[in-house]
Amino acid sequence: QCAARIPQARAVLQVLERCPRQPTKGPFPVIVVEGLDATGKTTVTESVKDALNAVLLRSPPPCISQWRTIFDNEPAPIRRTFYAAGNYILASEIAKASAQSPVIVDRYWHSTAAYAIATEIAGKVEDLPPAHHELYQWPEDLLKPDLVLLLTLSPEERIRRLQGRGLEKTKEEAELETNNLFRQKVEESYRRMVNPACQEVDASPSKEEVLKTVLQLIKKHCSL
């Protein structure tokens, strides 16, 4: 409906239409790394890729990420739709890659859902939908990963790392920095996700220690 006003929306839909419906995962494991910005996702995903000789994919995928800034400045429903479409486009890439090697994914459906829930649900953390609500369930028509890791940091350490990076932040990341309640709702939404649930990883130790923990979890939950 917004394609007339946002030409890039039509381009996103065209990419989505070319993707197979309900692509099938290959025999190799698919591991998703989630977390707020500055929790170390880039470092972890790059390190795990090298350790497992895996393919690294990111959400939104490169074929549409060029338009991310445009959609980040749109109202929440349009913004969420862009990221949701990105997940289904990414699923087709995951299916192809997992036929040949392990796949590491930097964000996927859980982040889209967690930010959407935190944005749409007014009030406090206690006002979020209860655990086991359908909003926390993985979509039946979306390719499912074998393992989802959630990197966590204290709010103080995360802000310190963000300020050290000096990168431009999305509206939602800026809100995470200034709105403690929004951050709490995002993190609690992550924790309520099921099928698959997030395995939490404390990202405050050294890079080497975090990588060691991540690889142990992969070895425990995935067949390599």
Phi/psi at 222 (nearest 5 deg)? -125, 150
- Residue 57 binned pLDDT confidence (cut-offs 50, 70, 90): very high
User: Which of 16-25, 40-49, 159-168, 187-196 is the least confident region?
Assistant: 159-168
List, edge to edge, every strand of the sheet that includes 147-152: 55-58, 103-106, 30-34, 147-152, 198-202
Is residue 165 pLDDT above 70, yes or no?
no
Is residue 130 pLDDT above 80, yes or no?
yes
Q: What is the pLDDT of residue 39?
A: 87
Tell me whether strands 103-106 and 198-202 are parallel, antiparallel or unpaired.
unpaired
The Cα–Cα gap between 12 and 19 comes to 11
CB atoms inside a 10 Å sphere around CB 125: 13
Q: What are the residues whose beta carbons fall under 8 Å from the beta carbon of 185, sequence distance 6 or more?
A: 117, 118, 121, 125, 128
CATH of the domain at 115: 3.40.50.300
* Closest-CA residue to 102 (of 41, 33, 194, 197): 33
Q: What is the pLDDT of residue 5?
A: 85
Range 77-102 average pLDDT: 96
Per the structure, the count of domains in the chain is 1
* Closest-CA residue to 86 (of 109, 115, 55): 109
More confident of the two residues 22 and 216: 216
- Residue 168 binned pLDDT confidence (cut-offs 50, 70, 90): low
More confident of the two residues 155 and 74: 74
- Residue 162 binned pLDDT confidence (cut-offs 50, 70, 90): confident
Paired strand residues for 151: 201
Residue range(s) defining the domain that contains residue 49: 1-221
Q: What is the pLDDT of residue 178?
A: 55
Range 5-30 average pLDDT: 93
Burial class (CB in 10 A: 0-12, 13-18, 19+), 78: middle
- Residue 223 binned pLDDT confidence (cut-offs 50, 70, 90): confident
**Which tens digits make up the pLDDT trace of 101-119?**
999 999 999 999 999 999 8
Q: What are the residues whose beta carbons fall under 8 Å from the beta carbon of 56, sequence distance 6 or more?
A: 45, 46, 49, 103, 104, 105, 106
Q: What is the pLDDT of residue 166?
A: 57
